[in-house]
Structure 1
Amino acid sequence: MTRRKPPKVSFRWWVDRQIDEARERGDFDDLPGTGRPLPKPTGHDAVTDWVLREVRKGGHDTRALLPPALALKREVQDLPGKLAAERTEAAVREAVADLNERIRQAYLNHHSGPPLTVALVDVEEAVDGWRRSRAAS
Structure 2
Amino acid sequence: MSGAWEASVEAKIRDAAERGEFDDLPGMGRPIPGRGAPYDESWWIKSFLEREALPSDLLLPTSLQLRRRVEQVPDEVRDLPTEQSVRDFVGQLNVQIVAWLRFPDDGPRIAVRPVNTEDVVRRWRAQRARPAVTATATEPATAATPSRRPGRSWWRWWRRRG
> Structure 2 length as normaliser, TM-score?
0.57
Equivalent in the alignment of 1:55: 49
- 2:63·2:110 contact (CA, 8 Å) conserved in 1? yes
CA distance in 2, matches of 1:111, 1:91: 29
Task: Point out where structure 1 has 5 or more consecutive residues left out of the alignment.
Answer: 1-20
Deviation at 1:36, TM superposition (A): 3.6
CA distance in 2, matches of 1:53, 1:77: 27
Q: Secondary structure at the match of 2:72?
A: helix
Equivalent in the alignment of 1:64: 58
- 1:69·1:116 contact (CA, 8 Å) conserved in 2? yes
Q: Which of 90, 94, 101 is residue 107 of structure 1 equivalent to?
A: 101
Q: Secondary structure at the match of 1:124?
A: helix
Equivalent in the alignment of 1:73: 67
Equivalent in the alignment of 2:130: 136
Q: Which of 126, 131, 134 is residue 120 of structure 2 equivalent to?
A: 126
Deviation at 1:37, TM superposition (A): 5.4
- 2:62·2:105 contact (CA, 8 Å) conserved in 1? no
Equivalent in the alignment of 1:88: 82
Structure 2 letter corresponding to 1:56: E
Q: What CA deviation, in whole Å up to 9, does each residue of 1:86-121 have, x standing for no partner?
A: 100001011111111110100111131111311111
> Structure 1 length as normaliser, TM-score?
0.65
> Which structure is larger by alpha-carbon Rg, 1 or 2?
2
Equivalent in the alignment of 1:7: none
Task: Point out where structure 2 has 5 or more consecutive residues left out of the alignment.
Answer: 11-21, 132-162
